[in-house]
Structure 1
Amino acid sequence: MKRKLHIIIILVSIALVLLSVTLLDKKSITKNTLSYITTQENFVAGKPIAIEFKGSFENKPQLYIIHSFGRTLLDGILKKDIIQFNLPKNYYNKTSLVSWFLIENNDEKAKGNFQIIPNDETKTNLESYLGPPSTLVGDGHFTMFVTIPTDNFDNPKFTNTEVAIKHQFLNTIATDNEKTKDFIAWKNIYAPTKSGGVLISASCNEAITKEFDAVIYPSIATDFTIAYKRNHEFADGNQITRLTTSILKDKFGNTVSDGTMVTFIIKNKENVLLKTFGTTIEGIATGQILHPEKENSYIVKAYVNGISKSNSIQINYKSINPTIAYSFSKDNRTISVGPIKSFMNQIVPDGIKVTLRIYHNDTLVETIIEDSNRGKATFYLSPEFYKEKKYSFEIETLGKTIKKAEKNVSNK
């Protein structure tokens, strides 16, 4: 009995194995009935692309596309046992590695990929960029010229596409043949040691770029010298002393760019610091200082801030020893100063400072300053503020001081 049971189990097992083999074979046959008709691996951009399959389909399958332009699901055109999928125009116009998956009843039936390559049959276009558009002379400074050759569908050309890059400076024209890598061809245009403009262009096949230009500016200024010029040496508080620099140049001998700021630092004999500024025109900067109103001596030095400096110069101003007339009113409350006469006995210009110091019992009460008008200045002592009976006065202008003894002041 046990022997019969054992034989029955063995027979059932054999039957199950044979059945599974039969089913597996049928499944393999079903899969093998599907074939990928399109054998082409590379397609040219801009030309329609159709993907075809042959086989028996239970339901109408779809083709899932992964493209650099995006992803999409395509419906096919079924004719008997052949189904055809047509890529949209915006997909087949762009180069890419395309992966596809044939989907039926949410099941992946087949998969593969193909390449869309640039179209060399169309005209070549060049997209070009230059940057920075300016740089300094020498010292390894450069501007980079980058160009991207593309087909008529804006697809970058094949790697190692040759591009001729030309650049001109003064009487020299050079051509460099560069090959594309990672879609672009580029060239570093190193700055010469002379300032000026560099013209750059590129060509590929029959395509030519427009003219690009890079400005090569002079480098930073080196040390320089300064000088001064004036009409006379008198401290009249009116004339102008002009400070000028030598022609500022960089270390390569180029005249620095117009507009370079120069600061003139002036120290007088009281150690007071003054400043004036100038910007270069054709390499020369000019600053102006007003003559002092009394004898003085100026030490002047100029700087291009943080870059270069000049020599120091000394400018001396002589006192004009002016003639100062003055008078008091009957009540001594109005003091008229002038006319004030300068070094040629001429009336001083308008705007000269006239100082009146008022004392009571040798104590300074107030200092009043007026500007001259036609060589004169007038001071009035109001009874509301100056209530004492006696005051003494001191008049100063253009470095000269006149002291007046005590005066009786009327309070009427």
Structure 2
Amino acid sequence: MRVKILMILSLVLLGCSSKEEEQPKETNTPNTTFITSKNTSIAGEAITLAFNTDQPNANYKLQVKNAYGNVLLNPKNSTDKNITFNIPKNFTRIAGPFRWKLLSNGETLHNGKHSITTNAPKATYVESYFGPRSVTAGRNDFSMLTISPTDAYDNPVDDGTEVTVKYQFLENIDEQKITTESFIAWYNVASTLKSGRILVTSECNGTTSKELATIVYPANAVNFNISSSSAHNFADGNQIVTFTSDIIKDEFGNVVTNGTLVTFVIKNEDNSYLYTIGTTINGIAEAKTLHPDKAASWEIQAFVTGAAESNTTEFEFKAAIKDYPVHFSKGNRNIDIGPFESFMKQLIPDGLLLKLEVYDTEGNFIESKITTTKSGVCNIFLGEYFLPDGEYLFKINAAGITKEFTKSINGDTVK
């Protein structure tokens, strides 16, 4: 029994001694004071934060944090009572606040904020943007000039910094003063009534930007007039008729841009339409087309799509070919047409269209052939594979003249 009591007392004493050993040791927190008087500086200036301490050899760290990141610094100098930290250049050159904490063994001893202002007096750089680079005349359009002035370290200058905008057109040079807001300044340069080039530039703190430009193009065309001309008015299918506009302008008197597309629409007596196109050079559009191959009456009108239209002009074509002979041979299977003679009894140019239509005696359509003239004549041969023997109605049309023949095809006997 006595032995058991001694063993229990020994265990109790051991437990008490182990608890005493587990108790944490007391730490001595350094007594520090922030002694740097300035809490603002200019971008690019060296920044040093200093503290007074009763334990200069303690494990001190300075945490510095701004919008771009953070860093943990070791003290650069220590004396009997002071410790100092040099802020890195990549922090001192960025305008805006940064925050700091003095740490010792993970414990925050002090914290604060330091503000950095832009360094515009050292140097100012001006970035400018201008667009769109083309506008239309008329005061309803504009190009925006955007200016972004920065200091030597690419920090935006302070809001309210004055910027001078200058712009030139023809003999006029205008000037406007604006101020920065939210890092930028901007100005709308209105288009002019006349076409041309507007030059703009800007200046801030004695630094000028590069020269920028916008082109003022003419506005939409207004209605205009056209005319037509040709060497003669005979419908020979060979000569060229020319359609010409007068100088096409916008509502402000500006000549439309070179290359403006003008469509000339032609309506004939059958209410059929054809068209030809031209583009403007110095405001004048010109288009050409061939004469028809038969008498015709044309009405011509021109359009600048979605913008303007011209007057309507007329052109009358007289028949150049009055008649032509037709000769059947070889059992009426061979047909020689021509010669075709024009208005001065000359042979017509190659390429006149001729069409032959074949009908039975009851007027039912059977076949057709199309050919063109060569050396003033054309020839059609109706082989047995194309048309068997029998009686047929032939209609021949060329130069607007239609001729009809009823012929019996029977071998190669001429009838």
Q: Given the superposition, is the C-alpha separation of residues 105 and 382 from structure 1 closer, same or farther in structure 2, using an over 3 Å criterion?
A: farther
Residue 13 of structure 2: aligned partner = none
- Partner of 1:40, secondary structure, is coil
Q: What pairs with 1:212-361 in structure 2 (closer than 5 Å)? A: 212-361=212-361
CA distance in 1, matches of 2:69, 2:218: 50
State the alpha-carbon separation in 2 of the partners of residues 70 and 140 from structure 1.
Answer: 47
Q: Which whole-Å CA distance do the structure 1 matches of 2:46 and 2:375 have between them?
A: 95
Q: Does 1:374 align with 2:375?
A: yes
Match of 2:67 in 1: 68
**CA deviation after TM superposition for structure 1 residue 153, in Å:** 1.7
- Cα distance, 1:74 vs structure 2: 3.3
Deviation at 1:208, TM superposition (A): 2.3
Scaled by the length of structure 1, the TM-score of the pair is 0.85
Unaligned runs of 5+ in 1: 1-26
1:232 positional shift: 1.7
Single out whichever of 70-79 and 384-393 deviates more from structure 2. 70-79
Do 2:389 and 2:408's aligned partners in 1 also have CA atoms closer than 8 Å?
A: no
The one-letter amino acid of 1:347's match is L
Using a 3 Å threshold, how does the CA distance of structure 1 residues 71 and 228 change in structure 2: closer, same or farther?
farther
SS of residue paired to 1:339: coil
Quote the offset at 1:131 in angstroms: 1.0
Counterpart of 2:68, as a letter, is: F
The residue aligned with 1:385 is 386
CA distance in 1, matches of 2:75, 2:316: 99
| Percent of aligned positions that are identical | 36
- The aligned residue for residue 209 of structure 2 is 209
Amino acid paired to 2:224 = F
Number of residues of Structure 1 aligned to a counterpart in Structure 2? 385
Q: What is the deviation of 1:115?
A: 1.5
Deviations 1:211-238 (A, max 9, x none): 2111011111112222211222222222
Distance 2:174 2:294 in 1: 64
Q: SS of 1:285's equivalent? A: strand
User: Alpha-carbon deviation of 1:78?
Assistant: 5.8
Task: Report the CA distance between 1:59 and its aligned residue.
Answer: 5.5
Distance in 2 between residues matched to 1:246 and 1:269, nearest whole Å = 26
Alpha-carbon distance between aligned partners in 1 of 2:189 and 2:104, rounded to the nearest angstrom: 58
- Residue aligning to 1:120: 120
* Corresponding position: 1:41 with 2:49: no
Q: Give the TM-score of the pair, scaled to structure 2.
A: 0.84
- Matches of 2:375 and 2:53, distance apart in 1: 114
Describe the shift of the 1:176–1:369 C-alpha distance in structure 2 as closer, same or farther (beyond 3 A): same
Deviations 1:109-133 (A, max 9, x none): 3222111222234232211111111
Once the two structures are TM-superposed, the CA of residue 194 in structure 1 deviates from its matched residue by: 0.8
Alpha-carbon separation, structure 2, partners of 1:266 and 1:283: 22
Q: CA shift at 1:156, angstroms?
A: 2.0
Give yes or no for contact 2:222–2:250 (8 Å, CA) kept in 1: yes
Deviations 1:89-115 (A, max 9, x none): 222222122122334444433222111
Deviation at 1:46, TM superposition (A): 2.0
The 1:381/1:43 distance shift into structure 2, 3 A limit, reads: same
- Does structure 1 residue 400 correspond to structure 2 residue 398? no
CA-to-partner distance for each residue in 1:179-226, whole Å, 9 max, x for gaps?
Answer: 222222322211121110111112233422222111011111112222
**Structure 1 368/77 Cα, relative in aligned 2: closer, same or farther at 3 Å?**
same
Q: Kindly indicate whether the alpha-carbon contact (under 8 Å) linking 1:221 and 1:250 is maintained by their aligned counterparts in 2.
A: yes
SS in structure 1 opposite 2:91? helix
Secondary structure at the aligned position of 2:284 is classed as coil
Structure 2: segments with no counterpart, 5+ residues: 1-26
- Counterpart of 2:131, as a letter, is G
Structure 1 window deviating more from structure 2 (200-209 vs 57-66): it is 57-66
